[in-house]
Structure 1
Amino acid sequence: MELRAAAVNRLEVWADGVVADLDAQEDVDRSLLRALQVDPSLREETAVRRADALRAAALGLGPAGCAAAAGVSERILLNWQAQEPSFATAMAAAYRLAEREGERARLVAAPTGPGATALRVVLRAVRDGTAQPSAALLGGWSERSFLRLRRRSPEVAALLAAARRARVRARKAERRGGSRGGRGYRLVRVDDGPLASARPPGEP
């Protein structure tokens, strides 16, 4: 029993660490900008989030998952594509690339299905308060297939539990007046140009 309890504790500690690092890249980016003594601009922020959406599309996520990966609403993602034909073309190409890669994988009987980026989207969504079935759909799983994955993988189950714990901690911090957990907004400098009148990415 003690060995089992120790193993469960190690898994929880590992999962808590992974969930805590879900936004590590954004933290690194902020630190690098501070080192350069540069304030991020709205143009740069939008470009980063568009790149996140393109990466998610190339890895097989649908529109809702791509928006979640970019930290914006689906409506914002659609607006970007309507306003920037080149971005719309890039998104369409990324979707086609993902479809072709899926077809190649099926031809050689390689494992197919959502990967690490999709799981990151699910965990972020659960951490930010989305119900598991809806979060699974964002990542490209059906509710049933995600339940099978959770039962099959103790690590996935532990990560989901850690995401829920992070949500509880964030709620407590909010009630105490602390900062909200999860992916938030950055302070950005508004440039002159076509994006100058836009709202910060993700703002409705």
Structure 2
Amino acid sequence: MYRYDQIDQRLVDERVRQFRGQTERFLSGELSEDEFRALRLRNGLYIQRYAPMLRIAIPYGLLTTRQLRKLARIARKYDRGYGHFSTRQNFQLNWPKLEQVPDILAELATVQMHAIQTSGNSFRNITTDHFAGVARDEHVDSFVWCELIRQWSTFHPEFSYLPRKFKIAFNGASADRAAVAVHDIGLHAARDEQGELGFRVLVGGGLGRTPIIGVVIREFL
């Protein structure tokens, strides 16, 4: 899996400092609800009926043991001792205190994790087959493709304020365990008669209130 370099770490640390200041200004009354909404959504924070909800990014569902232990520590320290792994391979805390969210983000940054682009109308977490890398029917390890898209899309200024959220899934095996047909873009690996690797490309899928199956625009690309 990808490891941060110094530039990556500096960007995430700076984002934590920015959000800490924004949260303090909101709690002191300097920022209105509307002004704070866009800022918190850029950092994975929803304000729900009973408590905030923080969604933490787990790119393509891959965690180190150190990161998993950090999530457990955060859940015990700042929440109710548990969290929720989402269908998009993220991790959600449903009972954090708003004033402690910057502290949570700071702890996440120490293990190369963040909550950027996990909420709001942005480019969301890239998802893939949970057996990627070890599946017997695999044509290609989809983690590589997911990581390329992750590096390209994270912090991209054009993807922070989209008209709606945008989701991509890769599947590198014969069996579709990434549900590529219910994503805005779904890419399903395949090989042609000559054994060349390519992707079946689907677009326009989605779940939510108006679920729809994506349309195949290229059988082999």
Question: Does TM, scored on the shorter chain, surpass 0.5?
Answer: no
Q: Shorter-chain TM-score: what band?
A: under 0.3
| Greater share of helix | 1
TM-score by length of structure 2 reads: 0.24
Counting strand residues as a fraction of each chain, which structure ranks higher? Answer: 2
